[in-house]
Chains A and B, each alone.
Chain A
Amino acid sequence: MSFAFKLLNREKKLEDCRPLFEEKKYEVQLKKLKEILKPLEKATETGLIVDSDKCNGCGNCIVVCPVHVEKDPQGAGSGRGPTISDPIYRIENGKLVIKNMHACRRYGKSRILCVVCRENCPTDAISFLEG
C-alpha cells in the first residue's frame, strides 16, 4: 500500500518497481497498472484535473477557494479577478488555468483533502484523482 500511495503522490514512479518490468509473469499487471495510472498524466501534484472543454469561466472555484479568501480578500475573495501575483487559479481566455498549485491546501506535507472548488463547479470541469 505504501508504494501505491507514493505512486499517487509522485514520490515514486512505476519504473521503481523493477520486477514489474523485468519479469514476464507481471506483463498483464503492468499493462493494467499503466491504464489505471493514465489519469495521473493529466493531474497536477494535488491530484487536480481540469477539463477545459467543460469550463465556461464562471469563476466560482476562484472565489470559493479558502486560500484566495485569506490572501486576496479584496480581490478573489470579494468576487473580483485575483489581484495577487500568485493565485492558485485564474481565468485566462475564458477558461480556468492553474497558476500556482503549490499554494493549494492539498499540496505539501500538511495537506488536507480540500474539495471546495470541485464542489462548486456547476459542470464538473474540476475533478480530483480520488474521485
Chain B
Amino acid sequence: MICTACSCLCDDIELEDGKILNACERGYKHISEYRQNRAKNSVNGKELDLDKAIEAAAEILKSASSPVIYGMDTITVEAQKLAIKIAEKLGGYIDDNSSFCLGEFVEAILKKEVPSATLDQVRDYAYVIIYWGTNVYRSLPRHMSKYTYYPRGAKRNRGYDEDRFLVVIDIRKSEIAKLAKKNAKFIKVENDVELVESFLKAVEGKASKYDVGGVIREMKRADFNVVFGGLGLKYGLKGNYGLFFEFIRKMNEITPLYFLPSGFHSNMRGFNETLFETVGAVNKFSFSEKKSDRAFEFSELLRRNAIDAALIIGTDPVSSLPYDVSRNLMAVKKITIDPKNTLTASISEVSIRSALSGIESGGEMVRSDGVRQKLRPIEKTEYDDVYILKKILEGL
C-alpha cells in the first residue's frame, strides 16, 4: 500500500502477519490507529445519519453570505476537484494549509520560476544535496533513506560517502545536521537572507559573511545538485523569496541546481496543482473577486471576521492555528468533514465522518515533487470524501 502520513507517499508499505513493514513510526501510527477516535455524523451535537448531516451542511452553505472552504491537504485529487467546484458555485473563498506552509515554493515551481526535479531523479543523479531550514528526520522520516542522500542511484552507485555531498543549513544542530560528517557541511544560520547573499557573493568570487565557497565548488563538480527548502527557509527569508530564487537561477548559469519543497501533508501539492490548473493560483483564492490575495488566507479571514460559514475538510484549525485566530471560529458556522473526531469536529455545527484516504478509499495524490500516485487502500468504503462532496454539491 501507499502510506499517506506525509508527502513522501512511500509506496513500499507491506502488511504481513499483522505487522506493518517498511513504514516509519509516523506512518505506522497513521495506518495502525486509523480506527481510533473516529468522527461521528452529527448536527448541533446530535448524532444523525450521513444523508441528514450532508443536507444540513448544504443548507448552511446555501444560506451563507461569505463562505470558505478550507483544508483539503489530506484528501485525494478527485475530492479536491469537487471541493473547488463547491467554492466556485458558492462564489466563496478557498484556502489550504499551504498558505502558511510551503505554498510560495510550490507556486514558484508550477510557474517555472525555478527549475525542479523529481525525487527519483534526485536519487539517481544528485551530488550536492542541501537541506535548508528543514529537519526531515521529524517531518518526512524516510526522505533521506528512500529518496536522497543514502540510496544508491543509477549514476550515484558508490554510496553516500563517495557519491553525495550533504549540506544541512539550520539554526540548530538538528538530527539530520548530526549526519553531516564526511563529505558534508553543516551551516549554522542566524540570518537566512544574509546566507543567500553570501551564496550570491560567492558565485561572483567575492568574500561573504558565511563560508559557502566550498559548497559552490562542490556544486560545480556535478551535473545535478538540489536544494530542499523547508519552513525554516520560508520564514527565514521574511518574504524575500525573489532573492532566493535569484540565487537558484544564478547558480544554474554555472551548474545545474534544482529546487524542491520539503515538508507538508500528504496531498498539499495535489491541492496546489489542482487549484493552479483551475484558476492559476495555488491557494488563498476568492471566487467572487476572482483573485488570490493574502487577505483571503483562512487565518486572515478569521482575524477580520470576514466569513460566516466554513467547510473544513481533513484539517484541524482549532489545534493548528493560534488561539487568537482560531477563537474567531466560534462566530462561524462550521461544517467539518474528517475521518477523525478532531477538536474542530467536536465544536462544529455539522460533523461528517469520512474515510481515510489511502487506507479506506482510493484515488490519486501528488507527492512533494509532483509525481502522481494511485492509492491502494486496504479497505473500501462507499462514503468517502468524493461521495460526501458530490452530495453536498448536488444539494447546493
Cβ of A100 under 8 Å from chain B: no
Supposing A64-B150, A79-B147, A81-B14 touch, asked if A95 and B25 sit within 8 A by C-beta, the answer is yes
A residues within 8 A CB of B13? 81
Cβ of A88 under 8 Å from chain B: no
Cβ of B20 under 8 Å from chain A: yes
Number of interface residues of B (CB under 8 A): 34
Nearest CB in chain A: distance from B273 CB, A: 25
A residues within 8 A CB of B178? 122
B-facing mask of A45-57, CB < 8 A → 1, else 0? 0000000000111
Q: Which of B20, B145, B160 contacts A58 (CB 8 A)?
A: B145
Cβ of B28 under 8 Å from chain A: yes
Cβ of B251 under 8 Å from chain A: no
Cβ of A93 under 8 Å from chain B: yes
Cβ of A13 under 8 Å from chain B: no
Supposing A81-B12, A81-B14, A93-B19 touch, asked if A63 and B150 sit within 8 A by C-beta, the answer is yes
Cβ of B265 under 8 Å from chain A: no
Q: Contact: A64 with B25, CB < 8 Å?
A: no
Q: Which of A62, A92, A94, A120 contacts B29 (CB 8 A)?
A: A94
A-facing mask of B1-36, CB < 8 A → 1, else 0? 000000000001110000111111111110010000
Nearest CB in chain A: distance from B135 CB, A: 9
Q: Which residue of chain A has its CB nearest to the CB of B160? A: A64
Q: Considering residues A60, A69, A77, A123, which has the most beta carbons from chain B within 10 angstroms of its beta carbon?
A: A60
Cβ of B142 under 8 Å from chain A: yes
Cβ of B181 under 8 Å from chain A: yes
Supposing A59-B145, A94-B20 touch, asked if A122 and B26 sit within 8 A by C-beta, the answer is no
A60-B161 Cα distance, complex, nearest whole Å = 13
A80-B141 Cα distance, complex, nearest whole Å = 13
B residues within 8 A CB of A57? 23-28, 141-142
A48-B175 Cα distance, complex, nearest whole Å = 21
A residues within 8 A CB of B123? 78-79
Cβ of B179 under 8 Å from chain A: yes
Q: Considering residues A62, A73, A90, A93, which has the most beta carbons from chain B within 10 angstroms of its beta carbon?
A: A93
Cβ of B45 under 8 Å from chain A: no
Q: Contact: B144 with A58, CB < 8 Å?
A: yes
A residues within 8 A CB of B179? 60, 120, 122
B residues within 8 A CB of A90? 21-22
A72-B27 Cα distance, complex, nearest whole Å = 23
Number of CB contacts from chain A to chain B under 8 A:
96
Q: Contact: B146 with A59, CB < 8 Å?
A: yes
Q: Contact: A122 with B21, CB < 8 Å?
A: no
CB within 8 Å of B: which of A95-131?
A: 95, 119-120, 122-123
Nearest CB in chain A: distance from B78 CB, A: 27
Q: Contact: A93 with B20, CB < 8 Å?
A: yes
Q: Contact: A79 with B150, CB < 8 Å?
A: yes
A92-B123 Cα distance, complex, nearest whole Å = 24
Cβ of A8 under 8 Å from chain B: no
Cβ of B152 under 8 Å from chain A: yes
Cβ of B137 under 8 Å from chain A: yes
Q: Which of B14, B141, B153 contacts A56 (CB 8 A)?
A: B141
Cβ of A7 under 8 Å from chain B: no
CB within 8 Å of A: which of B261-300?
A: none
A residues within 8 A CB of B145? 58-60, 62-63, 79
Q: Considering residues A77, A78, A119, which has the most beta carbons from chain B within 10 angstroms of its beta carbon?
A: A78
B residues within 8 A CB of A69? 152, 159
Supposing A58-B137, A58-B144, A63-B145 touch, asked if A81 and B26 sit within 8 A by C-beta, the answer is no
Q: Which of B12, B23, B153, B160 contacts A94 (CB 8 A)?
A: B23
Q: List 24 A-B contacts (CB under 8 A).
A: A56-B25, A56-B137, A57-B26, A57-B27, A58-B137, A58-B142, A58-B144, A59-B141, A59-B146, A60-B150, A62-B145, A63-B146, A73-B152, A77-B152, A78-B152, A80-B12, A91-B22, A92-B19, A94-B25, A95-B28, A119-B181, A122-B175, A122-B176, A123-B137
Which A residues contact B (CB, under 8 angstroms)? 55-60, 62-64, 69, 73, 77-81, 90-95, 119-120, 122-123
